[in-house]
Amino acid sequence: MDDDELRWISGTLERLSRSAFRAKFVLTDKDRAYARAKGKETIDRHAREMLRARVGDAVPKNDGRQTPWRGHPVFTAQHATATCCRGCIEKWHHIPKGRALTDVEVNRLADLVMAWIERDLTNHPAC
């Protein structure tokens, strides 16, 4: 990741943290254990696959209700990073609804999701 991308991620996480709704999300102990057991590479692959499958289409199935609230670290991170539905993606990340996400956009949003997960894991060290 280049410096511009790191600045974008840092600035976006800061902006999201000022939203009372977005700031309330944290991983459960079970999700943290899962993320640590699977490792960064696997969770990163899951993030890219889930974003592509759930919000990548121009008109995703059940848009606005397609991302579960729990059950995988990526789901929680999607809500925390406003990558959970096309409405949130449009509002927070200025990517318009009505067209499929590009691979570059999916990867950028996945990098944001992973940065949020990594920050949560750092803020809550394993016992």
Q: How far apart are CA 50 and CA 69, in angstroms?
A: 14
Which band of pLDDT confidence, cut at 50, 70 and 90, is reported for residue 1?
confident
Q: What's the pTM? A: 0.94
Which band of pLDDT confidence, cut at 50, 70 and 90, is reported for residue 83?
very high
- Chain segment 11-48, per-residue pLDDT in tens: 999 999 999 999 999 999 999 999 999 999 999 999 99
Stretch 45-55: mean pLDDT: 97
Q: Is the model's pLDDT at 127 over the cut of 70?
A: no
Q: How far apart are CA 85 and CA 127, in angstroms?
A: 34
